[in-house]
Amino acid sequence: MHDETNANDWWRHGVVYQVYVRSFADGNGDGTGDIAGLRSKLGYLNDLGVDALWINPWYSSPLKDGGYDVADYRSIDERFGTLEEVEQFIAEAHELGIKVIADLVPNHTSDQHRWFQEALAAAPGDPARERYIFRPGKGINGSEPPTNWTAVFGGSAWERVPDGEWYLHIFDPSQPDLNWEHEDVRAEFDSIFRFWLDRGIDGFRIDVAHGLVKDLSFPDVAEQAVILESERSADHPFWDRDGVHEINRRWRSVLDEYDNRMMVAEAWVAADRLPLYLRPDEYHQSFNFDLLDTDWDAGLFAAVIERSVTAANAVGAASTWVLSNHDVMRHATRYGLPAGTKWRSWPMVGPHEVLDQEAGTRRARAAALITLSLPGSTYVYQGEELGLPEVWDLPEDVLDDPTWERSGHTEKGRDGCRVPIPWEINGPSFGFGSGAPWMPQPASFAALSAAAQAEDPASTLSLYRRATALRREHLAHVEAFELVDLGAGVLAYERGANMLVVANMSTEAISLPEGTVLISSDPSQGQLIQPDSSVWIAR
């Protein structure tokens, strides 16, 4: 039992483990991960010392975008299991003191959602279309899209239907955007929140929290280059518009009808806009992706960490730390690429020989001891505790991410971080399930499997287990944080009077400060801290 997770504000200092259910564990042998598999691994997750689980969408879905295309928000996809199994899972997690965060997708539905099917069956101008964003086109016979907006996965953000109207989808055409100006939409989501809250869900991760509100004057955008959302201008027609805050407040008031529940925003917005999402009547927390976008450099890390802690403190929130998730290249590989590599599109354009996987793995271990020792909550993406690398060489014919098709086969997409987890050293899917997995695993996964690492004190799995236990013992509820200058290339900070964290991100070994080493990312830790390693020192 992890008593501290029962305290109010459990989300402020927890370790949240992200489960991409499709690739976590397959309980029924059909090659796809499921709730039965997840339940069978609760003991593993408890031993790993996580406080909460965030489960990627488990709802009925055609899985065109890995489940972020929801056909029915109140039922579980049959490939994943049943609502009853989910209820059992929530109860079992709670027995272990582990909270459960569901993933809610309010920006768009699947094109298979009942509402969208009704909209398609209706004529232009029919009220059924108003729950989405349908518009006539421009040009001769309306054959041009209503605006020049581009979709995140590539191509136009508009799709034409047979009667000539166009509908908006800022992701895939199979993900039509809801019209959040419509009261039906708002009321429906209030009800969906309550549905899951009544089933014991402790929190929600809100997908595309910064995208719900559109500029309904439909201006063209000047900039068509593909750039990060966080770099887009404040007055973008669909990113980070001020109207989202009213919706945030409405949801918050629903959550506040229940005890001790939370919501975390996936909001890729500029650093100075993020605190707006964290006002006391809005989100409890927001993902902070800044560290994920930072090269392996002590000065850059220190600046991002200091800025994040200060910004969170200023609004009374706790920061979050994320190195990997199901949308980005795994950090064990990212850190093995030369500084400055444009890793989001790297696998298709860069020479693979530049990858130094050994350095990537060493740095990923050191990075874990950084994020697990910072104030706030730390998100761990499934498999990072095994040190899994990105599988960058998946053959083209197995690619599943819509990015691959929508980019005209120029961007491989996100499948390389979604490869099924290896649990055992042998077997048709390294213990993922009893048969072949939905996405092939590389042979290198055998040595990285949980079974191969479980008893090895030098393994990455052992490192994570020890770090979460030490975090509970020494850092639970400690919010104090102060950077310490130990020279160029070294990231160091105190966490209260008794703990010093040192990450040597330089190329030279440095001497070990006084105190007792609680944990080191370097299994052969001696009197020096080697390059690319981190230590926690008790004083």
Residues in contact with ligand NOJ by CB under 6 A are: 65-66, 68, 105, 171, 207-208, 266, 326-327
CA dist 89 and 77 (Å) reads: 15
Helix, strand, or coil (residue 247): helix
Q: Are 186 and 246 in contact (CB under 8 A)?
A: no
Q: Are 385 and 48 in contact (CB under 8 A)?
A: yes
Q: Which of 257, 281, 393, 473 is catalytic?
A: 257
Name the minimum Å distance from CB 21 to ligand NOJ: 13
The minimum distance between CB 171 and ligand NOJ, in angstroms, equals 5
Dist CA 45 CA 38 (whole Å): 9
Beta bridge partners of 378: 15, 321
Residue 193 CB, shortest distance to ligand NOJ, in Å, is 18
Residue with smaller CB distance to ligand NOJ, 109 or 534: 109
Cα separation values, 324 from 233, 296, 330, 418, Å: 25, 14, 6, 11
**Closest distance of CB 66 from ligand NOJ, Å:** 6
Cα–Cα distances in angstroms (integers) from residue 357 to residues 66, 111, 389, in the given order: 27, 40, 8
**Nearest residue (CB) to ligand NOJ, 153 versus 464:** 153
Q: Which is nearer to ligand NOJ, 165 or 172 (CB)?
A: 172
Give residue 190's identity as a one-letter amino acid code.
Answer: D
- 269 alpha carbon, distance to own chain's centre: 15
| E strand intervals along 271-400 | 285-286, 320-322, 377-381
Q: How far is the CB of 481 from ligand NOJ (least distance, A)?
A: 28
* Nearest residue to 231 via CA among 210, 215, 200: 210
Among candidate residues 172, 207, 229, 411, the one labeled active-site is 207
Q: Give the nearer residue to ligand NOJ in terms of CB position, either 2 or 210.
A: 210
Token representation of residue 46: 């408890």
Cβ count within 10 A of residue 474? 16
Shortest Cβ contact with ligand NOJ: which residue? 68
Query: Which residue number, 158 or 171, has a Cβ lying nearer to ligand NOJ?
Result: 171
Smallest separation, CB 117 to ligand NOJ (Å):
19
Alpha-carbon torsion (84, 418, 156, 186), positive or negative:
positive
Q: How many CB atoms lie within 10 A of CB 532?
A: 24
CA–CA dist 224, 217 (Å, integer): 19
Per the annotation, the verdict on 514 as an active-site residue is: no
Q: In the complex with ligand NOJ, which residue's Cβ is closer, 283 or 481?
A: 283
- Nearest-approach distance from CB 492 to ligand NOJ, in angstroms: 33
> For this structure, is 257 an active site residue?
yes
Identify residue 272 by its one-letter amino acid code: D
Kindly tell me which of 92 and 405 has the beta carbon lying closer to ligand NOJ: 405
Q: Which residues are catalytic?
A: 207, 257
